[in-house]
Amino acid sequence: MNQGYGKYGTHAPIRAILAVLTCTAALAACGGPADPAARTDAKPSAAPKPLAQPALAARSLAPGAEAGPYRTGEYTVSGGPLSDAYTAKPPACQSLVSLRSARGGPVAQVHRRLTDPKHLQGADVAVQLRSYGKGRAAAVMGELRTAGKACAGGFTEVRGSGTGTYTSVAKAVAPAGAGDEAVAYRLGLKDGPGRSASYEYLTVVRYGATLVSFRAENLDGKDLGGVPKEIVDAQTEKFSSPGK
C-alpha cells in the first residue's frame, strides 16, 4: 500500500499519527465514544405488533393443504382444544388448557385440524395460531414453563359441563431453532371413568407476538410419541413464507 505518495507527500503518515494521538487524548472531540453501548440517545426496539386475522390466516396451513400423509381441515363445531372457554384446576395450570395469560388472551386466532384420511382413528392434530398484544405472547410462554413444573402431578380441565383429568405433565423435545422460543410437553390423560390412560403432546412456538401451537393425540388411544414432524415443518415453512 502507498504509505506516503500522493497529495501530502512524505509528511502524510506523520500527520495521521498525530491525529490518532490527538483523538486518544480527547476522544469526545473525534466523534464521541467508540462503544455504541455508551450512547445515551439509543432508543429501545419497539415491541412486536400483533397480527390481525387476515395475516394469521395467510400464515396458517390452508384447508386442503397436505403435510406428509396429513391433510388440513377446519373445526366445524368449536375452535378445537386450547379453547378460551376452558379453565383449569388449579388455576396455575390455566395456560396448559387455553394458552391464555393471566394478563389476557389473544386478539386474533386461526384454528386448523390435521388428520390422516387413510387412518381416521390415527393422529388428530390441532394447529392454532394466536396473536397477542402488550407482551402477552411472551407472558404465556413464561406461564407455560411455570405450569410445566407446578402441574407435573396432573390437573383438571373444565370444558363447560364436562371435565378432563390429566394425570401428568412432562417436558418433551421442542423443535430446535424454531421461532424466538419454543416449549413442548407430554400430558397424561384419563378422559372419563373406566377409560385407559392416553397421552397428548403440546408444542408451542413463539414468533414475536404470535404463538403457533400444536396439540396432538392418537384417536385409538395409543401413544403418538410426539407432534408429527411433517406437520411442524409444514406450518413452520408456511409461517415464514406466507405468500407460498
Confidence class for position 160, pLDDT limits 50, 70, 90: confident
pLDDT of 84 > 50? The answer is yes
pLDDT of residue 7: 36
Q: How far is CA 149 from CA 153, 169, 185, in A?
A: 9, 8, 11
- In 4-120, which residue ranges form alpha helices assigned H by DSSP? 12-25, 53-58, 94-98
Please report, for the chain, the start and end positions of each structural domain, with discontinuous segments joined by +: 9-38, 53-240
Query: Cell triple for residue 223?
Result: 401413544
CATH class of 53-240: alpha beta
Beta-sheet pairing, 70-73 with 108-116? antiparallel
DSSP letter, residue 104:
B
pLDDT of residue 25: 44
pLDDT of residue 100: 86
Query: Cell triple for residue 235?
Result: 406450518
Query: Cell triple for residue 30?
Result: 473525534
pLDDT of residue 81: 74
Mean pLDDT, the chain, whole residue set = 82
Which 3 state secondary structure label does DSSP give 87?
strand
b/e string for 90-126 if b means 16 or more Cβ within 10 A? eebbbbbbbbbbeeeebbbbbbbbbbbeeeeebbbbb
Q: Which of 23-27, 39-43, 219-223 has the lowest mean pLDDT?
A: 23-27
Give the residue-averaged pLDDT of 53-82.
89
pLDDT of residue 191: 66
pLDDT of 8 > 60? The answer is no
pLDDT of 228 > 60? The answer is yes
- Whether the model clears a pTM of 0.85, i.e. scores above it, the answer is no
User: What is the SS3 string spanning 109-174?
Assistant: EEEEEEEECCEEEEEEEEEEEEECCCCHHHHHHHHHHHHHHHCCCCEEEEECCEEEEEEEEEECCC
127 φ/ψ angles, rounded to the nearest 5 degrees: -115, 115
pLDDT of 35 > 50? The answer is no
